Amino acid sequence: MTQTGTSEEAKRNRWWWYLPCAALIGVACYQIWLTQSAALSPWSGGGFGMFSTTDGWGDRFLQVVALRPGVRRELEIPPALREVTRRVRAFPSEANLRAFAMALVDAPTPDSGPLEAIEIYVWSTNYDPITLAPTPSLLRSLRVPIGED
Partner 1 sequence: MAKTDAVTWSPRRMLRWVEGVDGVDLALRLTLLTLLLRQIGTGVVRPLILGLAVLGLLLPNLLCQPSLWIALTVLTGLRVVFDWSVADNHAYLLCYWCFAVSLALMSQGVDRCLSLNGRLLIGWAFAFAAVWKLVLSPDYLDGRFFRVIMLTDTRFADFAQLAGGLSADLLADLRGFVQGQPVESLTPPHEPARFLWLAQGMTIWTVLIEGAVALAFLSPPGWGLSRLRDTLLLCFCLTTYIIVPVEGFG
- Selected from 8, 133, 147, 149, the binder of partner 1 by CB under 8 A is 133
How far apart, in whole angstroms, are the C-alpha atoms of residue 46 and residue 31?
7
Helix H or strand E segment including 103: helix 94-103
Our finding on whether 6 is near partner 1 (CB under 8 A) is: no
How far apart, in whole angstroms, are the C-alpha atoms of residue 56 and residue 92?
13
Distance from chain centroid for Cα 27: 16
How far apart, in whole angstroms, are the C-alpha atoms of residue 64 and residue 57?
17
CB atoms within 10 A of CB 99: 14
Contact by Cβ (8 Å): 144, 118? yes
Binding window for partner 1 (CB under 8 A); candidates: 68-76, 107-115, 128-136, 138-146:
128-136
- Selected from 33, 72, 105, 127, the binder of partner 1 by CB under 8 A is 127
Positions in 82-121 near partner 1 (CB under 8 A): 86-87, 90-91, 96
Positions in 40-79 near partner 1 (CB under 8 A): 40-42, 44-55, 57
Our finding on whether 18 is near partner 1 (CB under 8 A) is: yes
How far apart, in whole angstroms, are the C-alpha atoms of residue 124 and residue 138?
6
Amino acid at 99: A
Our finding on whether 142 is near partner 1 (CB under 8 A) is: no
Our finding on whether 5 is near partner 1 (CB under 8 A) is: yes
The residues that touch partner 1, with contacts defined as CB under 8 A, are: 1-2, 4-5, 10-11, 13-14, 16-21, 23-25, 27-28, 32, 35, 40-42, 44-55, 57, 86-87, 90-91, 96, 125-127, 129, 131-134
